[in-house]
A and B are shown apart, each in its own frame.
Chain A
Amino acid sequence: MKTVFRIIALTGLTLSMSSCFNSKKPNYQYMPNMYESTAYETYSESDAFKRGGVEAQTPVPGTIKRGYVPYEYPNTTAGLEAARAGLQSPLDTASIDLDRGGQLFGIYCAICHGEKGDGKGKLVKQEKFLGVPSYKDRAVTTGSVFHVETYGLNSMGSYANQLNQEERWQVAHYVMKLKGEL
């Protein structure tokens, strides 16, 4: 009987050694006050803010960020038509960078619109996102592409959050290049 107890004790010890590691909890730190910033950091909580101390706040109404150019066309069908007809790209031929536009297109657009802009992206092929048109079938202009990138259209969301204005123009030029090749 003594040996049985010994066996049980040994297995029990091994099990308890290996089972209590908890990956759901962070580890201990040496001197945490050297790890944690006194000032609030990105995505931290801070008493400086109301609403539960969320650090990620929206900008104060009426403020713009550096380098922002006001965009006058409204987010309506009329605005889209006006942009389609009249909005011109501020980029000259020297500053149009189709390589960069292509990279950005690959990250943000190709997943639905397809690498070639034919509306056959990976999500469409998997039937998760349907009805993405080919650029060939739509009367898009550089201006209307920029407008749709900025505001979104129907099921497509706005990309103003992920791409700044200059990047959106680069992508718009790349889209027009793809349309020309289709």
Chain B
Amino acid sequence: MDIVFLCRFFKRNATFHSVFAWMAFVRILSITVYNMKKLGNHYSILKTLFFSLALLLSASVSMGQAAPAAPAPEAAAAAPAEAKGDPAAGKALFNSNCAACHKLDSKSTGPALRGVAGKHDMSWIYKWVHNSSEMIKSGDAAAVKLFEENNHSVMTAFPQLSETDINNIIAYTSEPKAEPVTPPGAGPPGTAAADSGISNNVILGALIVVLFILVIMLVMVNRVLNRVAEKNGLEIVTKEPGTPIWKAFAKNQFLVLVSTIVLMLAGGYYVYGYLMQVGVDQNYEPVQPIHYSHRIHAGSNGIDCKYCHSAARVGKNAGIPSLNVCMNCHKNISEVSDTTATADHTKAFYDGEIQKLYNAVGWDKATQKYTGKTQPVNWVRIHNLPDFVYFNHSQHVTVAGIECQTCHGPVQTYEVMKQFAPLTMGWCVNCHRKTEVKMEGNAYYDKIHSELAKKYGVDKLTEAQMGGLECGKCHY
């Protein structure tokens, strides 16, 4: 039998797996105890062994606790306030009025605004903010130049902003750029990523090393004791070679019969389990061409599943969003926020993945324009029903109103998407048997619902009673 299949089966049958591991552990323990007995003073050695193991465990626990306590980064020193306006009030105004089209340090729909006070004088800026189209029409040279430089996009007029408001905004845009804060004592980039894995891998490694040392020590202690016994003239009791165990086993016919039956049953169980998992792709978690994190988008940002998978509302297929859906937000969001990065994935990594999107869709970040050079993204399909079964998303999502998570699992926590459900027929049928149909507010089906309810003598119909178990509903 192919070892890989066996492995899959072991993975899927955690209980058996643990029983196997437990058996191995008990065997090791018994062998150790047996060896100790031969030496005559097994208690002290066993004690040492357990003592060192306890010591090791406590050490690893304290290490694990110490690892994540990193010093909090110091807040950047606040820049001195401009005499003319209040940068804090300006920030609030900027975020609510300007930030849709302007960023401080990079071009967006409009130009970057940091240091804009140095480019134009204040009276010109007041006029521009209050009504820029008027200035362009009147032929102001600087205004027309700006209009030409920014793809002829018209800036909304803000007559409601007073001159003090504009002063505050300008004070905010005149603040020097905050230096990227590095936590004190941090090494060069790259070391941080290696540090993150320390807690688990190092502890495991240390455990293995210590276990190995213990084994060697045992052997050495055995040798020393033997030598001591030799010097003192003690005779070491050696076991006389008796009948080999397998011969004794073969002679006992009852034992042979019982163990054959046990072996056949166990073998049958494994063969059955192995055959049943063929074609089931539960927990399939392929590497995608762009590392898209559902944890960030659906989890921390709380974007509705149907925002991107809009076809799930109306179509058979849930739909892999075309890249223009990504660009709805990522036209504006070209890098992740500092809080998005995790121990496993740095900010630079995530920014690189957004850049992959830009490359595929042909978006030039610098000029804020599409270059027209696109390349398709070769997503790897995860959920794939066989051709002989019909499944329709809209029927489940819109008509039945089932949450996406019912079948797809807690996707909002997945950093890498995987298949949650087995997608086998038994799994479908179980849900159809259990799920009660939402009958309220569906006047069109009132008659058939009441008739069926009377036929089965129930208040609530399940999907199975509605005919959800008929072969032809899904296989045709």
Q: How far is the CB of B124 from chain A (nearest CB, A)?
A: 22
**A interface, size bucket:** 35 or more
Cβ of A63 within 8 Å of any chain B Cβ, yes or no, is no
Cβ of A126 within 8 Å of any chain B Cβ, yes or no, is yes
Q: Are B278 and A35 in contact (CB under 8 A)?
A: no
**Do A26 and B328 form a contact, CB below 8 Å, given A21-B7, A54-B376, A130-B100?**
no
Cβ of B244 within 8 Å of any chain A Cβ, yes or no, is no
The size of the chain B interface, using a CB distance under 8 A, is 70
Q: How far is the CB of B116 from chain A (nearest CB, A)?
A: 16
Cβ of A37 within 8 Å of any chain B Cβ, yes or no, is yes
Q: Are A17 and B283 in contact (CB under 8 A)?
A: no
Q: How far is the CA of A159 from the CA of B11 in the complex (A)?
A: 44
Q: Are A42 and B317 in contact (CB under 8 A)?
A: yes
Which residue from B99, B302, B317 sits with its C-beta under 8 Å from A111? Answer: B302
Cβ of A86 within 8 Å of any chain B Cβ, yes or no, is no
Q: Are B301 and A155 in contact (CB under 8 A)?
A: no
Q: Are A155 and B387 in contact (CB under 8 A)?
A: no
Q: Are B337 and A30 in contact (CB under 8 A)?
A: no
Q: How far is the CA of A115 from the CA of B7 in the complex (A)?
A: 49
| Residue of A whose beta carbon sits closest to that of B285 | A23
Q: Are A21 and B10 in contact (CB under 8 A)?
A: yes
> Which secondary structure dominates chain A's binding surface?
loop
Cβ of B109 within 8 Å of any chain A Cβ, yes or no, is yes
Q: How far is the CA of A14 from the CA of B20 in the complex (A)?
A: 8
Q: Are B307 and A3 in contact (CB under 8 A)?
A: no
Q: Are B101 and A10 in contact (CB under 8 A)?
A: no
Q: Are B381 and A27 in contact (CB under 8 A)?
A: no
Q: How far is the CB of B462 from chain A (nearest CB, A)?
A: 26
Cβ of A66 within 8 Å of any chain B Cβ, yes or no, is no
| Residue of B whose beta carbon sits closest to that of A13 | B24
Q: How far is the CB of A166 from chain B (nearest CB, A)?
A: 11
In the complex, per-residue mask of A119-146: 1 if CB is within 8 Å of any chain B CB, else 0: 1001100111111110001000000000
Cβ of A46 within 8 Å of any chain B Cβ, yes or no, is no
| Residue of B whose beta carbon sits closest to that of A42 | B317
Residues of B within 8 Å of A161, CB to CB, are: 310, 322, 324-325
Q: How far is the CA of A157 from the CA of B308 in the complex (A)?
A: 13
Q: How far is the CA of A19 from the CA of B4 in the complex (A)?
A: 9
Residues of A within 8 Å of B24, CB to CB, are: 10-11, 14
Residues of A within 8 Å of B28, CB to CB, are: 7, 10
Q: Which residues of A from 1 to 51 have beta carbons under 8 Å from B?
A: 1, 3-4, 6-7, 10-11, 14, 16-30, 34-37, 41-43, 51
Residues of A within 8 Å of B332, CB to CB, are: 129, 155
22 A-B contacts, Cβ less than 8 Å apart?
A4-B219, A11-B24, A21-B10, A24-B285, A27-B277, A27-B280, A35-B388, A56-B376, A107-B306, A108-B307, A119-B96, A126-B301, A127-B95, A128-B337, A131-B98, A133-B96, A133-B97, A154-B109, A155-B101, A155-B331, A157-B331, A162-B307
The 6 closest A-B pairs by CB, nearest first: A131-B100, A130-B99, A157-B328, A131-B99, A162-B310, A37-B387
B residues apposed to A, CB below 8 Å: 3-8, 10-11, 17, 20-21, 24, 27-28, 31, 35, 95-102, 108-109, 153-154, 160, 215, 219, 277-281, 283-287, 300-304, 306-307, 310, 316-317, 320, 322, 324-325, 327-329, 331-333, 337, 376, 379, 381, 384, 386-388, 418
A residues apposed to B, CB below 8 Å: 1, 3-4, 6-7, 10-11, 14, 16-30, 34-37, 41-43, 51-52, 54, 56, 77, 106-108, 111, 119, 122-123, 126-133, 137, 152, 154-159, 161-163
